[in-house]
A and B are shown apart, each in its own frame.
Chain A
């Protein structure tokens, strides 16, 4: 798996391989080291090799810290910004309720042929966005795998 800076477009690509793309403004705001991001993505790919896409995203800005896509044209980074908005809205909704000891942990979005899973970090600063095909894995299994890798 090659780690590439977004700015560099000259590296040789093996066709059909999955590129891990890392945003160069990466870990500055979310206090998450690059090593950890890579480790998380590696673990997810190892357990769900047929995944469609996975991304590590900053909640506050919607910036994609890193993303990996099996399908060319699946723009995980663009979707990530929308999911960040979803997360922000949910966090706001929770904040209006006097719920103590509550924390948003994950958001599951079952589509017809895909599952989108959003797993928040403990500090709620970043999340992992995972897209998998429904026929490849069950919703519960994908959720358990994300749970075991992130918080």
Chain B
């Protein structure tokens, strides 16, 4: 547990935890520094700081790809990565993103995406 409910990022983590209590990990990450502003992990296998740093690279690379393709008028809204047993969701909000890890068998993906969509509005 690495968040304070005094900050907007901390409140987002708290909200996501309340709506998705079975989640594996969640973090609010600043894209520029790659650092987690607030995070929580329910599994020792996922270190939110490490995840934040490397997933920031994922977001930056995708942004670079879009730049190279000169895709004007398009913005990344979210990134969904399907793993063997997990979903990793990245929901962008301005210069931050929410990173969420859930078990694929136990999670309703539509609900997870909706939770991220509504909490992301509180970030900026």
Chain A minimum-CB-distance residue to B52: A140
Q: Write out the residue numbers on chain B whose beta carbons fall within 8 Å of the beta carbon of A143.
A: 53
Q: Does B50 contact A (CB under 8 A)?
A: yes
Give min CB distance, A128 to chain B, whole Å: 17
Q: Write out the residue numbers on chain B whose beta carbons fall within 8 Å of the beta carbon of A139.
A: 33-35
Q: Does B14 contact A (CB under 8 A)?
A: no
Q: Does A93 contact B (CB under 8 A)?
A: no
Give min CB distance, A105 to chain B, whole Å: 12
Q: Does A144 contact B (CB under 8 A)?
A: yes
Contacting pair B50 A144 (CB below 8 A): yes
Chain B minimum-CB-distance residue to A148: B50
| A133-149 contacts to B (CB < 8 Å) | 138-141, 143-144, 147
Contacting pair B56 A141 (CB below 8 A): yes
Q: Write out the residue numbers on chain A whose beta carbons fall within 8 Å of the beta carbon of B53.
A: 138, 140-141, 143-144
Kindly state the separation between the CA atoms of A74 and B114 in the bound complex, as whole angstroms.
51
Binding site for A on B (CB under 8 A): 32-36, 49-50, 52-54, 56-57, 60
Binding site for B on A (CB under 8 A): 138-141, 143-144, 147
Given contacts A139-B33, A141-B57, A144-B49, 16 further A-B contacts (CB under 8 A): A138-B32, A138-B33, A138-B35, A139-B35, A140-B33, A140-B34, A140-B35, A140-B49, A140-B53, A141-B53, A141-B54, A141-B56, A143-B53, A144-B50, A144-B54, A147-B50
